[in-house]
Amino acid sequence: MENNTNNQIEIWLLDDDDIVRSTTAQWLRLSNYAVREFQEAQALINGFQTGLPCIIVSDIRMTPIDGLTLMSNCLIIEPELPFILITGHGDIDTAVNALRDGAFDFLEKPFDPNRLLQTVEKAIRLRTVQLQHANQSQYLGDLHGLEETIIGQNEQIIRVRQQIHTFASMDTHVIVYGKTGCGKELVAKALHDCSPRKTNPFVAINCAAIPAELFESELFGHEAGAFTSANKQRIGKLEHASGGTLFLDEIESMPLAMQIKLLRVLQENQLERVGSNNTIKIDLRVVAAAKSDLQTLENFRQDLFFRLNVSQIHLPDLRNRGSDIPLLFEHFCRMAVKERGGDFRQLSPIDHETLTLYGWPGNVRELRNVALRYALEPNTSVAKILAGYQAQDDIDTITPLPLSVKVQEFERSLIEASIRQQKGNIQLVLEQLQLPRRTLNQKMQKYGLNRTDYLD
């Protein structure tokens, strides 16, 4: 069955007591959950398979197949499936042992309906993340062509890939708009690689990084003796890029005098090196990148804008790309693990929530850096990494973490500190934190904490 995280996660409810089952199902449905009822375990087993968008809530005491046997069978097929057990008072020890065997949680009869709703909601959040992760892994494994470079399923990113295919073959100048870190150079390189110019040079220049007094020599080159430090002839970037693509990043930072000279080069397809009277024919395609509309800037020449403005590509901010955020995060994590070693870690629900709630002012570049830290530091979390970044930044320029994320990260840090201090001894952790075992198990699962990581 094809995974689809857009479908509502269904609750598979199993209880051989018709009254208890129907009453519980009604309560869940009134709370807007989708429920499928089962009277006996074999019927559920017959319909169960890997990748289903469901969680299971099952009574323990049933015949001929009890809830523990059912759980064991289901977890063999789907080891990460959230499985919730309903127990009688005499089954508490059995249920606690089941937590060690992979149960998500258990509820003791008679259970508080609100407690059931809270547990179900946590399980559904976890299952949603699991299925999304499975879909992302499949998507990343199937990438080919331009999708391997410009990754994403967001409608705006799909349009960007379509524009790259269209504009690449047109061999016209292009302006790429986007905030810092959105991937403007990546798009420029993709335009080059998809064009007939791909076998010729791709030359990138950051206009904001070149001192004004060196700009002309950098772009046009110079002859030996053209100025005091010109000991030998130098080929400029414009000439070097001839036949290929010239990428001018942050073109709005280009000095006005250079804008005039660049315009003449683009009009006449020729240039003169500094200190020379000889013209050199060139064949350039320019991809210019800017953070804001060049036509509205007072310090940018309108005639140069109109010369460059044949085609435009607009890159969206990362925060507007929705489900692409965890997708890109997984991609960067897998790249880091492949290049530097280690084990890939699936996101916990709280890490997933943090990724989607954070504002990402540094866009994809910031996401990539956080993913690298996350991949290489097995005992950290997304929120902790972001909090560390923010502590180093100016308070007026950061994107605050939501309060719920801060509270949960504080709770996670306390539990993690206790597990480390007690060297993975869960009984000592329970005593130190004064938590019930069930609550601690839930929170460790929620925050992706594993006691074996802290054993001596």
Structure tokens given for 437: 């075992």
Contacts of 367 (CB under 8 A, 6+ apart): 318, 325, 328, 329, 332, 360
- Residue closest to 266 by CA, chosen among 277, 276, 251: 251
Q: What is the pLDDT of residue 226?
A: 64
Structure tokens given for 201: 């040079």
Distance between first and last Cα of the chain: 43
171 φ, ψ (degrees, to nearest 5)? 55, 40
- Angle at the Cα of 55 (from 50 to 60), degrees rounded to 5? 105
The DSSP bridge partners found for residue 175 are 288, 312
Residue that is written with structure tokens 């990138």 in the block: 204
- Residue closest to 14 by CA, chosen among 69, 58, 63: 58
Q: What pLDDT digit, counting tens, does each position of 259-279 carry?
A: 999 999 999 999 988 888 889
Domains of the chain, earliest start first? 10-141 (3.40.50.2300), 155-315 (3.40.50.300), 336-454 (no CATH)
Dist CA 442 CA 179 (whole Å): 40
Helix (H, G, I), strand (E, B) or coil at 297: coil
Look at the pTM and tell me if it is higher than 0.95: no
- Residue closest to 389 by CA, chosen among 361, 411, 415: 361
At 416, the amino acid letter reads E
Q: What is the pLDDT of residue 392?
A: 46
What is the chain's pLDDT, residue by residue, as a tens digit (456 residues)?
334 433 489 999 999 999 999 999 999 999 999 999 999 999 999 999 999 999 999 999 999 999 999 999 999 999 999 999 998 766 778 878 888 888 999 888 888 888 899 999 999 989 998 998 888 888 898 888 899 999 999 999 999 999 999 999 999 999 999 999 999 999 999 999 999 999 999 999 999 999 988 898 889 987 876 676 667 878 889 999 999 999 999 999 999 999 999 999 999 999 988 888 889 999 999 999 999 999 999 999 999 999 999 999 999 999 999 889 999 999 999 999 988 888 888 888 888 888 888 889 899 999 999 999 999 888 888 888 887 755 444 434 445 566 666 677 667 777 877 887 788 888 888 888 888 887 888 788 777 777 776 776
Alpha carbon separation from 175 to 191, 249, 280, 313 (Å, rounded): 11, 10, 25, 6
